[in-house]
Amino acid sequence: MATRYASTEVNKAAPELADLEPSSSLGVPGPDKAAVEAFNTAKRIEDRPQQLPGQRYQYHPPKYNRGPLHPIQSPPSSDPTARDFVPGPFHLPRLRQTYESTIAADLLTMTYLHKPPGTPDPPVRERLREWDDSSPYNVNRPRRGPRGGSKLDLLEKNVSWRNLPEVKAVSLHAFMPSNTKVPGTLDVARSVLQSISGNTTEITKVKSNVVQWKIREGDKTGVKTTIHGNAAYDFLDKLITLVLPKIKDWPGVSATTGDANGNLQIGLNPDDLAWFPELQVNYDMYPARLLPGCHIHIQTTATSNRQARLLLQAMGLPFYGKFRD
């Protein structure tokens, strides 16, 4: 067996590295003083025989959308030139990652309804009321509207992989009728909502006079904001994990909450709102007697309260009481 000993042949550079220069370009000396003084930008621009053209044409998207048939269309929201362009996402929220990896598959399994191929859909009952035959003018009259409002609630759609319920947005609203008597109340409410949501707030005004609260039409008495996308998941994660478990004797969310269209509501007192970490880290900045309460509206893509509760229960939000679908 041959033994290889150290020799000068081993220390030679490989042929692949023979083309590399031994010296670095950073070692090149800079220009001398005469070359620096001769480089006069102002004089060069002044002596230029023809000036450069001005600012080039820049595309500006239209301010209003005038329909799909208009020749000038707005770019999609993903286009950086769009007016509603939002950069990101810059991170993946923990709650959203849990939803995509675990909760979505569990919801699809729990709500699965087997439908053999070729099975016809059951007929959808008419939800609008008919007019009686007391008058001949009711024969061709359109059906009567729903009781208690002018719009019908959504029909619950079967959950499939095409329409899995997910969180769409979270709206925060604080109503401070004492702002007309105690100055600074609305400013504190704006700073609190902006701190816990990370979003700019909007002031709301009273639409009609309320004698009991001594407020008039047009008074500024409320603050609201809406967060979308990853910010909504971050807020829910913070609410479910850090805030609600610290509330003493908190039973949970009432099972009767909801608007029958997949949107659920939660209410927090001023003492409960103080558990948010953004307020705890600098609690002395907010006057304790001016801290507002808060209404939290969780908007989902579900089409019923039952589907929305299944989604939020999987995320860790408890419910109590008798369920009403």
Give the integer Cα–Cα distance in Å for 298 and 262. 9
d(CA 171, CA 197): 9
- Answer whether 0.85 is exceeded by the pTM: no
The predicted model gives 273-295 an average pLDDT of 90
Torsion of CA 231, 220, 293, 212, to 10 degrees: -150
Burial of 170 (0-12, 13-18, 19+ CB in 10 A): buried
CATH architecture of 167-320: 2-Layer Sandwich (3.30)
Number of other CB atoms surrounding residue 190 within 10 Å: 19
Spatial separation of the C-alpha atoms in residues 307 and 101, rounded to whole Å: 19
Is residue 205 within a helix (H) or strand (E), and if so which, with residue range? strand 202-205
pLDDT in tens, 50-93: 766 666 667 788 989 899 999 999 999 899 989 989 888 889 99
Which helix (H) or strand (E) element contains residue 33?
A: helix 33-38
**Structural domain boundaries in the chain:** 167-320
Is the predicted pLDDT of residue 324 greater than 80, yes or no?
no
**pLDDT score of 184:** 84
129 confidence band (pLDDT: 50, 70, 90): confident
Q: What is the mean pLDDT of the chain?
A: 87
Q: What is the pLDDT of residue 11?
A: 55
% pLDDT > 70, the chain: 92
pLDDT in tens, 210-261: 888 888 888 888 999 999 999 999 999 999 999 999 999 899 999 999 988 9
Per-residue pLDDT tens for 258-276? 988 999 999 999 999 999 9
Q: 317: pLDDT confidence band, cut at 50, 70 and 90?
A: very high
- How does residue 13 score in pLDDT terms, banded at 50, 70 and 90? low
Which residues have a Cβ under 8 Å from the Cβ of 221 and sit 6 or more positions away? 175, 176, 177, 179, 180, 186, 204, 205, 206, 215
Q: What whole-number distance in Å separates Cα of residue 60 and Cα of residue 82?
A: 8
In sequence order, the 6+-apart residues with CB closer than 8 A to the CB of 267 are: 293, 294, 295, 296
Q: Is the dihedral of CA 42, 43, 46, 52 positive or negative?
A: negative
Residue pLDDT, tens place only, 187-208? 999 999 999 999 999 999 988 8
